[in-house]
Amino acid sequence: MPNILLTRVDNRLIHGQVGVTWVNHLGANLILVANDEVAADPVQQNLMDMVVPDAIQTRFFSIDKTIKVIHKAADRQKIFLVCRTPQDALRLVKGGVPIKELNIGNMHFSEGKEQIASTVSVDEDDKKTIRELLDLGIKVEVRRVPDERVEIDIKKFV
């Protein structure tokens, strides 16, 4: 069983909050980014690696590769799993990745989205996806950084 400490939805993927603040809080030694686009883009990977301390490993896998290899993770790997969208998280869960808790940290506002928290905006598909994750028994929270309290009760918005 892979040692997944937390799974986070953040459309920025790895940045200062993820690469330093969350990693230190969780005690993670591996950030696994599960995203099809970034898995195929070494430039984005290199930019994200710049904000991660040298002692922390990073992996950039497609959603399908994550599903295929996550169960081969070594016990010593303390994994912080990061994906861009709740839809990616749901694909991981449906693919057998043992996600118990989902932190939603950042989902940018765009046309057709409703802002439900300071850094989280959702459309109808996002709401449907989050409802499905909740129905599957996944604990879902909205929180930017570890030392702040959960910003909203997500169940009220989906």
Residue 71 catalytic?
no
Choice among 15, 25, 71, 108 that is catalytic: 15
Between CA 153 and CA 151 the distance in angstroms is 7
Whose CA is closest to 4, among 70, 78, 94, 93?
78
Beta bridge partner(s), residue 101:
139
What does the DSSP assignment read for 53-122? Answer: -TTSEEEEE-HHHHHHHGGG--TT--EEEEESSHHHHHHHHHTT----EEEEEEB---TT-EEEETTEEE
Indicate the helix (H) or strand (E) that contains 131: helix 124-135
- Point out the residues that are catalytic: 15
